[in-house]
């Protein structure tokens, strides 16, 4: 049946292996026109949620020539997924297991995956543990090596303690934190970013994630080398792979991107001009690049 939901998606709930209720948005076009095309599963960043992918999901699911079913997931503790009383469960291994559970609950045997930041780290783990699920991968501003400077910036602004009193201030906070690296964003883009990151808490914007997730970043010892995922990245070598790198990113160095290209000669590298970490995927020529990649995966 054609999608008659004005929002463009169906809300889906499923259960994690340890019993949490988790949330997904399912953008499902008419099966007769999407038949034979792989679904696309979107995994958000550290404190982000399904709303980050809404504009891209609409573009891909409503494409006039090659629509895809698109599923965006809220990781545990984010968005509409339940908060975890055991804060130690906010880790990549648990969250990778949640993705496997989502695929089982939603009837997905194989898909193209898009992973933004932490979502891309989860895909590194899935490449090692559940490669049967991965038909192709798009990494959004993430790789097997994280730059300490970029991760420290994320730690600092997530734990700054500055809380908006209204939606206008929410936009101002985001622009203050990210404006220098996101010259490509227009005023409407900043407003949409605020609506994606915050929820309405009785008329006041409230960050839509468990505060424990940001708190955990304070325990990182930046005097020591951060662990890398090159071993897991090697498991992506046989898959179609695209890397979107923000022109102004501080988390993914040019050197790491070049090494990824060396180890995966078929990897497509796309620069997100005027964007930092992590690029908004519905802006500029990124949707066209993603469409072309999806077409090559058939």
Q: Quote the tokens at residue 67.
A: 């629509």
Q: Is residue 134 part of a domain?
A: yes
* Sign of the torsion formed by the C-alpha atoms of 139, 108, 52 and 212: negative
Q: For the segment 110-133, what is each residue's pLDDT rounded down to a tens digit?
A: 999 999 999 999 999 999 999 999
Q: Is residue 175 part of a domain?
A: no
Contact at 8 Å (CB) between 145 and 228? yes
Count other Cβ atoms within 10 Å, centred on residue 2. Answer: 10
Contact at 8 Å (CB) between 289 and 242? yes
Count other Cβ atoms within 10 Å, centred on residue 183. Answer: 12
Residue count (the chain): 298
Q: How many domains does the chain have?
A: 1
**Nearest Cα to 48, choosing from 24, 77, 89?**
77
SS3 125: helix
Q: Is residue 117 part of a domain?
A: yes
Q: CA 131 to CA 199: how far, in whole Å?
A: 35
Q: Is residue 124 part of a domain?
A: yes
* Structural domain for 118, as ranges: 10-147+227-296
Helices (H), 18-147: 31-34, 54-61, 92-106, 118-129
Cβ-defined contacts of 8-15 (< 8 Å, 24+): 8/54, 8/57, 8/58, 8/61, 8/62, 9/54, 9/57, 9/72, 11/80, 12/71, 12/105, 12/106, 14/101, 14/102, 14/105, 14/106, 15/101, 15/105
N- to C-terminal Cα distance for the chain? 23
CATH label of the domain that carries residue 271: 3.40.50.1820
Q: Is residue 186 part of a domain?
A: no
Q: Is residue 212 part of a domain?
A: no
Q: CA 263 to CA 84: how far, in whole Å?
A: 37
Predicted pLDDT of residue 2: 39
* Sign of the torsion formed by the C-alpha atoms of 249, 255, 259 and 265: positive
Q: CA 282 to CA 90: how far, in whole Å?
A: 28
Sites in the chain below the pLDDT cut of 50:
1-4
């Amino acid at each position: 049946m054609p999608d008659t939901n004005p929002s463009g998606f169906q809300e889906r709930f499923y259960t994690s292996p340890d019993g949490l209720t988790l949330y997904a948005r399912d953008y499902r076009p008419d099966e007769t026109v999407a038949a034979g095309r792989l679904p696309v599963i979107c995994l958000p960043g550290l404190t982000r949620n399904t709303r980050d992918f809404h504009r891209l999901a609409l573009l891909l699911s409503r494409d006039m020539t090659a629509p895809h079913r698109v599923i965006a997931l809220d990781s545990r503790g984010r968005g509409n997924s339940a908060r975890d009383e055991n804060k130690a469960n906010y880790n990549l291994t648990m969250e990778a297991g949640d993705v496997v559970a989502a695929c089982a609950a939603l009837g997905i045997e194989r898909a193209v995956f898009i992973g933004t930041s932490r979502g891309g780290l989860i895909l590194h783990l899935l490449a090692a543990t559940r490669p049967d699920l991965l038909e192709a991968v798009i990494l959004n501003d993430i790789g097997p090596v994280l730059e300490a400077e970029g991760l420290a910036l994320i730690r600092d602004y997530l734990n700054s303690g500055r809380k908006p009193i209204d939606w206008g201030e929410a936009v101002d906070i985001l622009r203050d934190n990210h404006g220098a690296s996101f010259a490509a964003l227009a005023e409407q883009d900043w407003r949409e970013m605020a609506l994606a990151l915050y929820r309405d808490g009785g008329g006041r914007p409230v960050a839509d994630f468990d505060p424990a997730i940001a708190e955990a970043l304070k325990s990182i010892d930046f005097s020591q080398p951060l662990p890398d995922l090159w071993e897991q990245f090697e498991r992506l070598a046989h898959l179609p792979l695209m890397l979107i790198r923000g022109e102004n990113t501080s988390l993914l160095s040019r050197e790491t991107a070049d090494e990824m290209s060396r180890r995966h000669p078929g990897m497509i590298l796309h620069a997100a001009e005027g964007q930092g970490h992590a690029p908004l995927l519905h802006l500029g020529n990124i949707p066209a690049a993603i469409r072309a990649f999806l077409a090559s995966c058939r």
